[in-house]
Structure 1
Amino acid sequence: METIDVGGARRVPWNKGKLSGQKLPLKLREIWAIRIRLQHAGSTRDLAMVNLAIESKLRACDLTRLRVSDVCHASHVAARATVMQQKTQRLVRFEITEQTRASVKAWIKASALASDDYLFPSRIYGSPHMSTRRYARLVHRRIRSIALGDSTYGTNTMRRTKASMLYRRTKNLRAVQLLPRHSTLESTVRYLGIEVDDALEMAEQTDV
């Protein structure tokens, strides 16, 4: 990979030396390993963020820009939320389970966030919310904490985890397609990292 010459200064690409491509999803035991470590460490923010990232399946840019009002009704964390995706300009709806609601509520209370505040505010002056780069570092740190090689995991891991778990459980591609709101089955195939022929065969078997 070549360096980039910008205004006479040579800049090294951010992903130099890193593996690119589809990232692996987490398994259930790995999710729980991360959760237990965060609970023991008293890391209220990171626990809420990890839980919400997995359940919402949002891209990093959408997750970090969530406001409290996006997931809360008055003082209660909602069981369902709807947000506009920046990349596609489509509304996406997701469920928030009781466990995740509890962790989000604990974070909001601990940080005294108001309804109009960003759910994950930045700790850097002048930056209103956590950056995607900071979120990526958080994800990699939590991956390493359970002895997984973080070169094959990343923020896209959080997006893919719940859909991959549903696919492994049901083999129902049509159901999985609805989670990230893919417009085509082929998009879901790429998202899950499975073979197209196998996907089409499974889709035919699961159609009603």
Structure 2
Amino acid sequence: MREMVQQIGEVVIAELRAAGYMESTIGQYQKSIKALSVLAEPGGGVYTVSLGKVFAAMTTSPRTGRFSAQRRFDFCRLVRLFDSYMATGQVDLATQKRGGGGAWPGSEELAALARSWAAEMVQRGLAAATRDAYGRVARAYLVFLESRGLSCLSEADGASVLAFLASLRARWAVSSLPWLISNFRPFLKFTGRTDLVDALALAGVRRHHTILPVLDDQDLEAVVRACGSQQVRARDAAITLLAVTTGLRACDLVSLRLVDVDWRTQTIAIVQQKTHNPLTVPLAPLVASRLADYILDERPASADDHVFLRVKAPHTRLGDHAAIHRVTANIFAKAGVADVKAGSRLLRHNAASRLLRAGVAVPTISAVLGHASPESTNIYLSVDHDRLLECVLPVPAGARS
């Protein structure tokens, strides 16, 4: 049976309304459906997957004659919904993550190696974000090998590792290369090729531990004051306050579920996404108050049991750490704090440094932050100026002249 553009469009619009999409968003979909209907007219108004590909490729604005990112976004998202309906009879409104996971090698042997690495990471119990980062770099290397005419790993040598890293320098910041190598090394170890692992050391990339930034008292007070006001969403205030007071990672904030909150004891108990270790943190009165405001008055009705949901439909869990960064950046802007990068990493460092300056023992801070190893907390010693000054030796009298 042939499916008509107009008929599928009616189903899509009905599903969007049922899911609670804003009328302004639905209006944008309707405009795209109208444009797709015009394209389908020569074929009798019938929709096909090939027609969808042509429509999605129409990224040039007829008004300006230039590429339009908005046009590409609108047309591609409509085609995705139409294609899901054609394939399953259902309109798939699930949100799509950015990036798409990166390219996969075409060679069967290299593709099989990538799949084996993915299965191995699951077997090891690595967090989803970690698997994504490790897998993306591994597949990029395998695709690079293919570009050099290699179809299996046995044909690669240490020089291929160095050439791969060199190819990335044009697209990656130098400061990001240590992170990339740390994500690349586990895959090379998995292959059992010690020569490839040794080649990483020849790249000469070293990680530099800089002094971590923290909020001064005035900025912290402004952020907390903004979170306690009615100028910001209760959801955004609760997320920011949790990060400020507990130092929870962004991945744990995204994964937080309603059952993790114990209102009787005013605590949150989770299993950390990164370390898989259990962690219980207290809820300060203001945090508990704003979290309750969100859950009782602001949180959309949804079958999703994650605490923090998307404001716009579909009302599902937040996508990733980028969503947390947008929330905290918005709070910082409203608080008038503009000289720092308002990410969960900064807030995590800030929580640790304040505990340290309050005289809390490093092992205790390590437990509060949920570090797998107490040694991970040592980096926060760099912000404890008073203790660092105690380590400074006096300048010899003869050197002053």
Which TM-score applies when normalising by structure 2?
0.40
Q: Which amino acid aligns with 1:87?
A: K
| Residue 105 (str. 1) matches residue 295 (str. 2) | no
1:177 is matched with: 366
Query: Distance in 2 between the 1:95 and 1:133 partners?
Result: 25
Query: Distance in 1 between the 2:175 and 2:252 partners?
Result: 24
Q: CA 1:190/1:107 → structure 2, altered by over 3 Å: closer, same or farther?
A: same
Q: Aligned-pair distance for 1:102?
A: 1.0
2:66 is matched with: none
Larger Rg belongs to: 2
2:10 is matched with: none
Query: Distance in 1 between the 2:216 and 2:302 partners?
Result: 34
2:257 is matched with: 67
1:69-108 superposed matches below 5 A: 69-72=259-262, 76=263, 78-108=265-295
Q: Which amino acid aligns with 1:164?
A: S
1:33-72 superposed matches below 5 A: 33-38=222-227, 39-72=229-262
Q: CA 1:128/1:139 → structure 2, altered by over 3 Å: closer, same or farther?
A: same
1:108-127 superposed matches below 5 A: 108-112=295-299, 117-126=305-314
Q: Aligned-pair distance for 1:69?
A: 1.6
Query: Distance in 1 between the 2:296 and 2:315 partners?
Result: 21
- The structure richer in strand per residue is 1
Q: Aligned-pair distance for 1:94?
A: 0.6
2:141 is matched with: none
Q: CA 1:16/1:130 → structure 2, altered by over 3 Å: closer, same or farther?
A: farther
Q: For residues 112-131 of structure 1, what are the alpha-carbon distances to aligned partners after superposition, in whole Å with 9 as ceiling and x for unaligned?
A: 56896221102354572112
Q: Which amino acid aligns with 2:338?
A: L
Q: Aligned-pair distance for 1:17?
A: 10
Greater relative contact order structure (CA < 8 Å, 6+ sep): 1
Q: Please say if residues 143 and 149 of structure 1, whose CA atoms lie closer than 8 Å, have aligned partners that are also in contact.
A: no
1:142 is matched with: 331
Q: CA 1:183/1:120 → structure 2, altered by over 3 Å: closer, same or farther?
A: closer
Q: Please say if residues 68 and 118 of structure 1, whose CA atoms lie closer than 8 Å, have aligned partners that are also in contact.
A: yes
1:192-207 superposed matches below 5 A: 192-193=381-382
Query: Distance in 2 between the 1:101 and 1:114 partners?
Result: 21
2:130 is matched with: none
Q: Aligned-pair distance for 1:56?
A: 2.9
1:206 is matched with: none
Q: Aligned-pair distance for 1:174?
A: 3.2
Q: 2:348 aligns with which of 154, 159, 166?
A: 159
Q: Aligned-pair distance for 1:191?
A: 4.1
SS at match of 1:179: helix
Q: CA 1:41/1:194 → structure 2, altered by over 3 Å: closer, same or farther?
A: closer
Q: For residues 16-55 of structure 1, what are the alpha-carbon distances to aligned partners after superposition, in whole Å with 9 as ceiling and x for unaligned?
A: 6999976523344323212322414142111111112223
Q: Which amino acid aligns with 2:270?
A: V
Query: Distance in 1 between the 2:232 and 2:343 partners?
Result: 23
Q: Which runs of 5+ in 1 are unaligned?
A: 203-208
Q: For residues 134-190 of structure 1, what are the alpha-carbon distances to aligned partners after superposition, in whole Å with 9 as ceiling and x for unaligned?
A: 211222233344233234x42211222222111112163233222213344431112
2:25 is matched with: none
Q: Please say if residues 324 and 343 of structure 2, whose CA atoms lie closer than 8 Å, have aligned partners that are also in contact.
A: no
Identity of aligned residues (%): 21
Query: Distance in 1 between the 2:219 and 2:317 partners?
Result: 27
Q: Size of the alignment, in residue pairs?
A: 188
Q: CA 1:90/1:157 → structure 2, altered by over 3 Å: closer, same or farther?
A: same
Higher mean Cα deviation, 42-51 or 93-102?
A: 42-51
SS at match of 1:64: helix
SS at match of 1:148: coil
Query: Distance in 1 between the 2:173 and 2:219 partners?
Result: 28
Q: Aligned-pair distance for 1:62?
A: 0.9
Q: Please say if residues 27 and 165 of structure 1, whose CA atoms lie closer than 8 Å, have aligned partners that are also in contact.
A: no
2:218 is matched with: 29
Q: Which amino acid aligns with 1:30?
A: D
